[in-house]
Amino acid sequence: MADVKVTVLAGGVGGARFVRGLRAALESEGADITVVVNTGDDLWLSGVRLQPDIDSILYALAGVNDAERGWGRAGESERVSAELREWGAGWPWFTLGDLDLGTHLARTGWLRDGLSYTQVAERLGSRWPIGVRLLPMTDTEVDTQVVVEDGSRLHFQEWWTRHRAVLRAVRFENPGIDGATPAPGVVEAITGADVVVLAPSNPVVSIGPILSVPGIRGALGDAARVVGVSPIIGGKVVRGMADACLTAIGVETSADAVARHYGQRADGGLLDTWLVAEEDAALAPGLAAEGWDVRVEPLWMTDLERSATLARAAITD
């Protein structure tokens, strides 16, 4: 039997946990896993290019992530960052670990040498035997911007990390995304997969930008099967401040509202199947009545085994 082909659309931490689980679930049988990663979180900081979602997934798959803190490298230090603060340079509120900075500098050097983001992701993915292929959603820079209530515009990272998403967002934009194309291999990874999974990542600023790259939505329409995993459990976001993002686009913070936001394929939406948490089992009948293939599963990815069980459930017909 040929290896099962799975493609995951993912943001950072939630995506990383899901993909680790998927890799573990398929370890014994052989699998061809591609992760299409959101690059809307990317930023230029003091002339250096950061890609938080790419790195979160890379570090988690390599086992060098700081599991306790939930992001960055284990055993991290912040000597350079402290110096930057002394200089009054960069974004003082943005933590920049020394080990992490090594990644950023390597990436920046390669970009300045003329490599594309796809080529950079390939190099990053080759340092450790991560067992999956990492693809940026696009090779074009389309950093997410947030327009807040008073009309001003912030880089997503500034809104999210500096202001902890408390400034009321009225809209998210990815300038330049209309002219962007999917990175090489992305469309093929989606249309050629046995199953495509929308990871339990932020629907607005992680999955949203991926879906906004012209051509990706269409590729999903041609996919064999598309499964979504709810990032909302018991009416709450699992981590982060996705509720602030959902509110801004007029979507309720609930597993069924997010499902309807993605839409079911029979109605011209994206999904064949939607996984909701046991805590949200009460929502399943309503979705099922609308024709959804909705499944109730344990969605908490608190350890690798649970993540693997969830991933297995997600890719099972």
Rule CB under 8 A: which residues touch its own copies? 44-49, 77, 79-84, 86-90, 98-99, 101-103, 105-106, 108-112, 123, 127
Least gap, CB of 177 to its own copies (angstroms): 23
Q: Which residues contact 188 (CB under 8 A, 6 or more apart)?
A: none
Q: How far is CA 31 from CA 5, 135, 194, 238, 310, in A?
A: 6, 17, 11, 28, 16
Give 82 or 281: the residue with its C-beta nearer to its own copies: 82
Structure-block tokens of residue 212 = 């906004």
The answer to whether the CB of 45 falls within 8 A of the CB of 85 is no
Q: Which residues contact 94 (CB under 8 A, 6 or more apart)?
A: 45, 157, 161, 162
Give 49 or 261: the residue with its C-beta nearer to its own copies: 49
Structure-block tokens of residue 6 = 């799975």
Q: Tell me the residue ranges of DSSP E strands in the chain.
A: 4-10, 31-37, 43-45, 48-50, 133-136, 145-148, 153-155, 169-173, 195-198, 226-229, 232-233, 236-237, 273-277, 293-297
The answer to whether the CB of 58 falls within 8 A of the CB of 20 is no
Query: Which residue type does 137 have?
Result: M
Give 76 or 280: the residue with its C-beta nearer to its own copies: 76
Least gap, CB of 239 to its own copies (angstroms): 27
Least gap, CB of 90 to its own copies (angstroms): 6
Give 64 or 296: the residue with its C-beta nearer to its own copies: 64
Give 46 or 191: the residue with its C-beta nearer to its own copies: 46
The answer to whether the CB of 270 falls within 8 A of the CB of 228 is yes
Least gap, CB of 112 to its own copies (angstroms): 4
Least gap, CB of 84 to its own copies (angstroms): 5
Least gap, CB of 123 to its own copies (angstroms): 8
Give 129 or 268: the residue with its C-beta nearer to its own copies: 129
